[in-house]
Homo-oligomer: A and B are copies of this chain.
């Protein structure tokens, strides 16, 4: 059985309250008593009971992270960074997966774990901002990568329109003209895909090109398989083949390159590919993948900062924040103009 303050107090011959004071340093304790209590603490290996502590304090020190899939490389990297950022603040993270399903998002938002967490970080796929705000309880919440036009909660994301625009412009600058966009997701309500599509079209317009609807290929998910299928579909359609693809995620891009290889389409000679997310796989893929790299560490840090602000200033009337984190385009082999050499170290 684990020992409690009472046990320690008995052993040290002081009151429970004094032990608590030593543990928390909350009141002044004489050097002599402190030493005696400390010894008792060590001997019994005292560990505070979190349940009791949070029952008193009304806080648990737990943060809920609600993401579509832990095993997806992007969310995996992000989750790792969030766990570390949380650790720096003495918080613990609970991770839940929604698989992008609306009912799961609703359930997790309302509460399977809600009563236990002090704050919630959610990356919604199936719900749009207004439904999110309806479902949400009083728990502080931060949205990741969600459009949130009504500003229902704090919100951290890259500028998706700008990033997609830059990615497309890069393809245009290397001489590509028939640029496909693989990744629109009509099923989803979170707006991210729409923003990337808008950025893609904007870049084409600026270059004096008219977006060809036949080159915009929707996908059911952002997985590699979906990318592979979408590419097959695009190639099978007949008509002039694309000379470049802007994929809305690195995973899609990797699936696309897989199909390209199967069909004998050379990357980047016949087809340039750009992805989004900068997952590690893309640095080691063959060819290595050009991508939009969001500053994930900063996403994690800023999201937690938002939560901290709300948790520690309870009466908070601070309006919902909208935070844009930086991104940069990382050019690798998959979009290098021919003749630029294919050899490269991972960067």
> Are the CB atoms of B70 and A76 closer together than 8 Å?
yes
Please tell me if A151 contacts chain B, counting CB pairs below 8 Å. no
Contact partner of A346 among B2, B225, B284, B288, CB < 8 A?
Answer: B225
- Number of residues from A at the complex interface, CB < 8 A: 54
Neighbouring B residues of A286 by C-beta, 8 Å: 257-258, 261, 285-286
Question: Does A101 sit within 8 A of B, measured CB to CB?
Answer: no
User: Is A138 an interface position by the 8 A CB rule?
Assistant: yes
Whole-angstrom distance between the alpha carbons of A235 and B105 in the complex?
Answer: 50
Asked if A80 and B73 make an inter-chain contact with CB atoms under 8 angstroms apart, the answer reads no
A296 smallest CB distance to B (angstroms): 10
What is the bound-complex CA distance between A286 and B254, given in angstroms? 9
Q: Assembly of this chain: how many copies?
A: 2
Encode contact with B along A64-87: 1 for CB under 8 Å, 0 otherwise: 000001111100110110011000
Segment with Cβ contacts to B, from A52-60, A153-161, A213-221, A317-325: A52-60
The interface stretch among A92-100, A121-129, A187-195 is: A92-100
Cα–Cα distance between A261 and B345 once the two chains are bound (Å): 11
Binary contact readout A99-115 vs B (1 if CB under 8 angstroms, 0 otherwise): 00000000000010111
A205 on interface, CB distance cutoff 8 Å: no
Asked if A224 is at the interface (CB within 8 A of a chain B CB), the reply is: yes
- Measured between beta carbons, the chain B residues less than 8 angstroms from A116 are 50-51, 92
With an 8 A cutoff between CB atoms, is A268 at the interface? no
Verify B71–A2 contact, CB threshold 8 A. Answer: no
A residues near B (Cβ < 8 Å) are 2, 47-52, 54-55, 60, 62, 69-73, 76-77, 79-80, 83-84, 92-97, 111, 113-116, 138, 224-225, 228, 254-255, 257-258, 261-262, 280-281, 283-286, 288, 343-346
- Contact pick for A115, options B48, B70, B95, B225, CB 8 Å: B48
- Looking at the assembled complex, report how far the CB atom of A91 sits from the nearest CB atom of chain B, in whole angstroms: 11
Interface pair B76/A71, CB less than 8 Å apart: yes
Distance in angstroms between the alpha carbons of A93 and B254 in the assembled complex: 31
A285 CB contacts on chain B under 8 angstroms:
285-286
Given contacts A76-B73, A79-B70, A114-B47, contact A93 B95 (CB under 8 A): yes
Asked if A80 and B84 make an inter-chain contact with CB atoms under 8 angstroms apart, the answer reads: no
